Amino acid sequence: MRLKDGLILREVAGQFVIVPTGRRVKEVTSIVYISSSAAYLWDYMKDEEFEKEDLVNRVMERYEGVTREKAAEDIGKFLKLLAANNILDDGVAHGSVLVRMPEGKQ
């Protein structure tokens, strides 16, 4: 999986905010705040394809006193937040799309 393009991370008043740019403004309509730990992962994720386990390994290398299970749980929540806000390109359709064909064009 990977992060979608057209997204940048900014620190505003001590908080990290994911900001959509260009065409992503129409797709990412919520303000998404993330923790400093998530911002550390974002720095890696923005340039790489990754799996959940890659992120767990990075957390285990950087932070002391965290268990692998807790890191995996927290990263799972983080990835769900990104997917729910149309930020993560994980190959899974999120939400629903309704397409109406004009009559006689089917």
pLDDT class for 104, splitting at 50, 70, 90? low
Which residues are bridge partners to 33 per DSSP?
Answer: 17
Q: The whole model's pTM is what?
A: 0.80
Looking at residue 22, what is its pLDDT?
92
Q: Which long-range contacts (CB under 8 A, 24 or more apart) does 22-31 make?
A: 27/86, 28/85, 28/86, 28/87, 30/85
For residue 95, pLDDT over 70 is answered with no
Average pLDDT over residues 20-47: 93
Looking at residue 11, what is its pLDDT?
96
With beta carbons less than 8 A apart as the criterion, state whether 71 and 60 touch.
Answer: yes
